[in-house]
A and B are shown apart, each in its own frame.
Chain A
Amino acid sequence: MNLHELTAHELLDLIKAKKTSSQDVYAAVKKQIQAKEPQVHAYVRVNENAPMSSPPKADFPIPIAIKDNMCIKGQETTCASAILKGFKPPYDATVVKKIKQSGGMILGNANMDEFAFGSSTENSHFGVTRNPWNLACVPGGSSGGSAAAVAAHEAIWALGSDTGGSIRQPAAFCGVVGLKPTYGRVSRYGLIAFASSLDQIGPITKDVHDAALLLKMIAGYDPMDSTSVDVPVPDYTRSLVNNVKNLKIGIPKEYFIEGIDPQVKQSLEKAIDVFKQCGAQFQQISLPHTEYAIATYYITATAEASSNLARYDGVRFGLREIPGQTRKSPLIDMFEETRDKGFGAEAKRRIMLGTYSLSAGYYDDYYLRGLKVRTLIKEDFDNAFHQCDAILTPTAPTTAFKIGEKVSNPLDMYLSDIFTISVNLAGLPAMSLPCGFSREGLPIGLQIITKPFAEEMLFRVAYTYEQNTDWHQRKAPIQ
């Protein structure tokens, strides 16, 4: 039995039945990391001092990968950026605290695009992560390390964060399940901020059942995050029912755009057939402002990012650089030198774009206009959910692209998030799950979107699909 290849719920059953132990599970995953990490590079750093087993009564004694933007007390956390090198947080993020309390063993910090700026994990200061299904391809991003770790069985499950698709798109590219919860469902305390009105932490897992377990563990109100919402956390495993009879599922007509890979389109059509055979009813819906989502996102999210990243000034965190000669004044020179050396190209691009759209003379035309279009995008979903219980779309317009393919064209990279970005702007929950493979053997993802705080509906629809297909059982052919 290959313990590292099992799901968390399978392992929990085995541990309960005393057929294995948390120590054995940890050892199996650790061995897999040693064997596969040289090829995949899913981790920025592997935690060598983790507890190698859990207390006997722990609820979830499962090894987990944590994206490198969640604070782990005393353990270097860098957002895959040079500017945070050496930063050892003095406290645990709320999600990390919950994982530790439930007996989770933290395997290490998973790789990501610097400050979560990207869709391929190529923007990491610490090198690229490779897709376990094809090592020449990207794992997606920005939570590419988390998704690749789960797909390569270098972690049983993982946490990612999603600002514009950063959990769902890498989950789709790596053939695993990725869930972005409703904005406010999970505490962001200790999540290093990118765009505070959009960021949300969520699970990346091998199947839907595991996503339900992990979400239940991390969800809930937290007084340390004033945007977390005080609504009860249901037992999501009760929503794991194989039944979508008479549910109304909407297909947005605007999502069948030019440029969508025909194989992705075909997989979605086959998924629709599966749901129809299970008794779901389909109808076409309209999200008329879809074509404005990416533009809205890149104005508003970069504005928030430029403000959030102002704190990296060489005084309070990580890196400090001093130029050889005085340019403006010793203090300002230090700020400017530190930020030039510490930030990578994409981080600079987004800080610059955000600073521009917030600056005097441009604010009304860019940032304020972006916020208004955000209202229109949110209203599109409000209207659509009068007609349906869930919305089905592809997660990404293509399968995983080649490493290096989109690096020189930032706008082209941004467009790969076209199906996921609106969900963040509207604050909705959404899940990506495997729904097929291309002829080249690359995974294809299906996205399900529901109303705010309707994660139970999300689990029901996703679980039904999973029970009637076997895509989630395929294993990446990494040698």
Chain B
Amino acid sequence: MKNKKIINEEVVRSVASLARINLQAAEVKQLTKNLEDILHYVAKLEQLDVSRIQPTSHVLPLENVYREDIVKPSLSQQEALSIGPYHTKGHFNVPKVIA
């Protein structure tokens, strides 16, 4: 290990904030232990020298997939909005953004 990875409740709370999940205190405790176990297990990847290896994010040799820029039939505004829990006047409705 190049630098010791630290997982503690503070890190878990900060990651939860990035992930936009309001974890309960018991969940923070549980997840700290779970993530510690899992990260300990995945640390085995550090046994491999990957300095000369190219990453694979995708198995297919695909490059940019283009289509003609032509408007085709698609969902109406009403259909798209109807999936959201709250909508008014052609918009998704959200709680107050600017206090």
Contact = CB atoms under 8 A, between A and B. Distances in A.
A349 interface: yes
A374 B56 contact: yes
A197 interface: yes
A229 B65 CA distance: 11
A316 B50 contact: no
Nearest to B2: A365
The CB with the most chain A CB atoms within 10 A, among B7, B21, B30, B44, is that of B21
Q: Output the residue of B20, B46, B96, B97 with the most chain A CB within 10 A.
A: B20
Contact of A355 (B18, B27, B92): B18
Contacts of B22: 323, 327, 333, 336-337, 339-340
A275 interface: no
Nearest to A349: B34
A295 B41 contact: yes
- Most chain B C-beta atoms within 10 Å of own C-beta, residue among A313, A331, A356: A356
Interface string A404-426: 00000011001000000000001
Contacts of A378: 56, 59
B89 interface: no
A351 B21 contact: yes
A223 B67 contact: yes
A295 B6 CA distance: 18
B71 to A, nearest CB: 15
B32 to A, nearest CB: 10
B25 interface: no
Given A87-B83, A334-B95, A372-B53, A410 B21 contact: no
B43 to A, nearest CB: 8
7 contacts: A88-B83, A91-B75, A337-B22, A351-B19, A355-B19, A369-B45, A411-B37
Nearest to A320: B85
Given A320-B86, A376-B53, A352 B95 contact: no
Interface in B20-73: 20-24, 27, 30-31, 34-35, 37-39, 41-42, 44-46, 48, 50, 53-60, 62, 65, 67
Contacts of B60: 183-184, 227, 229, 427
Contacts of B59: 183, 197, 378, 426-427, 452
A371 B56 CA distance: 5
A255 interface: no
Interface of A: 86-91, 183-184, 197, 223, 226-227, 229, 289, 291-292, 294-296, 298-299, 306, 310, 313-320, 322-323, 327, 329-337, 339-340, 343, 345, 348-349, 351-353, 355-356, 359, 362, 365-366, 368-376, 378, 410-411, 414, 426-427, 452
B90 interface: no
A289 B45 CA distance: 10
B38 A298 contact: yes
B27 A348 contact: yes
What 6 A-B pairs come out closest when comparing CB atoms?
A: A427-B59, A371-B55, A336-B22, A330-B95, A372-B50, A226-B65
Given A227-B62, A348-B23, A331 B57 contact: no
B15 A343 contact: no
A318 B83 CA distance: 7
Contacts of A340: 21-24
